[in-house]
Chains A and B, each alone.
Chain A
Amino acid sequence: MLNIVQRFMKRLVRQFFKKKKKVKIGLYGPPNGGKTTLANRICEDWLGEEMGSVSAIEHETREIKIKEEISVKSGKKELKFNLVDTPGIATKIDYEDFVKKGMSEKKAKQRAKEATKGVIDAIKWLDEMDVVIVVLDGTKDPYSQVNITIVGNLAARDIPVLIVCNKMDLKKAKKKKIEAAFPQYDVVPISAKTGKNIDKFYEALFVIAG
């Protein structure tokens, strides 16, 4: 009962401040799920510019990046928000993994150091978010503890969540697996890289953040 009252109060306070400040939409998820690719897609679609660089090597995004004043339009409706791209959340970071992918030891150690700081910052920023888009790689097992921890934490903080099943341009991608792992959430299958189903993503964004 106390929980319900607490949640209601939290929501009320959030609704009040939402009107005062810009809505912050955060992109969260494990490394290499396609958060920055989706951020770039949104920014290219509505601002005409990219947000950050992408790479096949994990932890390319190692610091919080914010794009302000994005305005998404759908018919007569308009949604204005600040987009926050966060580093991928992981429970382990080993510089030797980067070395194996062809990086020099010095660069790999630096990348690992920055990546650990990035994860800490991403966790710190959780409280700042009004809405979170959890970006998952549709080709991978969604039952990883990192995914469960992220989604569970957002639910505990009563932050609205939209789950994106990314990389649908790849044959191995399975939306059903993600839906089975998180049955209480809407899952939008997209390819941030090719733009497949991106309209459905914007529609879902309006529903959850509009």
Chain B
Amino acid sequence: MSLTLQFVPYGEIENLDSTAKVNKLIKIVKEEKIILLEGRIEKNEETLLIKKTMEEIGPKFKGIELFVMYPKDEESDPIQRLKKSVVDMLLGNRQGLTIIGPATIVKEIRKDPDKIQLLTKNLSKRKKTPASRSKSTKKKTKTKKRK
């Protein structure tokens, strides 16, 4: 079982309205891909994402693991703060990083001071989809025939 990471540049969602943005992200996650989104979505869009996730939960889709890395807001030097305000004004939500993964694959996303840990579930132990199950049954049958 392979793990797919999909990079989504901010430009791809920049001009979408909140619902379209969230739908696009959910669609990718439901394809069992982990999204690395350049920048971040708005706060109200984060709750919209959770709401939409709950609406989509079913036998195959169990939800998401969400992680947003916000730009640091700890500058005490007035000049640095001013610089940061200018950068904030110019880049807005383009700053930071968002990771969204399907809960069936991503167990937890942890942030240590200087690293992000993505803990995945034991993929080999995951329940097989009906399609993969029929393939594996076929394999077993072939083996028996050889014997």
Interface of B is mostly: mixed
The interface size bin for chain B is 20 to 34
Q: How far is the CA of A134 from the CA of B126 in the complex (A)?
A: 35
User: Which residues of the other chain, A, contact B53 by a CB distance below 8 angstroms?
Assistant: 91-92
The interface size bin for chain A is 20 to 34
Residue B128 at the chain A interface, CB threshold 8 Å: no
Residue A180 at the chain B interface, CB threshold 8 Å: no
* Contact assessment for A123 and B66 in the assembled complex, using a CB-CB cutoff below 8 Å: no
* Contact assessment for B63 and A123 in the assembled complex, using a CB-CB cutoff below 8 Å: no
* Contact assessment for B57 and A116 in the assembled complex, using a CB-CB cutoff below 8 Å: yes
Q: How far is the CA of A93 from the CA of B42 in the complex (A)?
A: 23
Q: How far is the CA of A112 from the CA of B55 in the complex (A)?
A: 12
CB pairs A–B below 8 angstroms (30 shown): A90-B50, A91-B50, A91-B53, A91-B103, A92-B53, A92-B57, A92-B65, A93-B54, A93-B63, A94-B103, A116-B54, A116-B55, A116-B57, A117-B54, A119-B50, A123-B47, A123-B50, A145-B66, A145-B67, A145-B109, A148-B68, A149-B46, A149-B47, A149-B50, A149-B66, A149-B68, A152-B46, A153-B46, A153-B47, A156-B44
- 8 A-B pairs with the lowest CB-CB distances in the bound complex, closest first: A92-B63, A92-B103, A116-B54, A94-B62, A156-B43, A152-B43, A149-B46, A119-B54
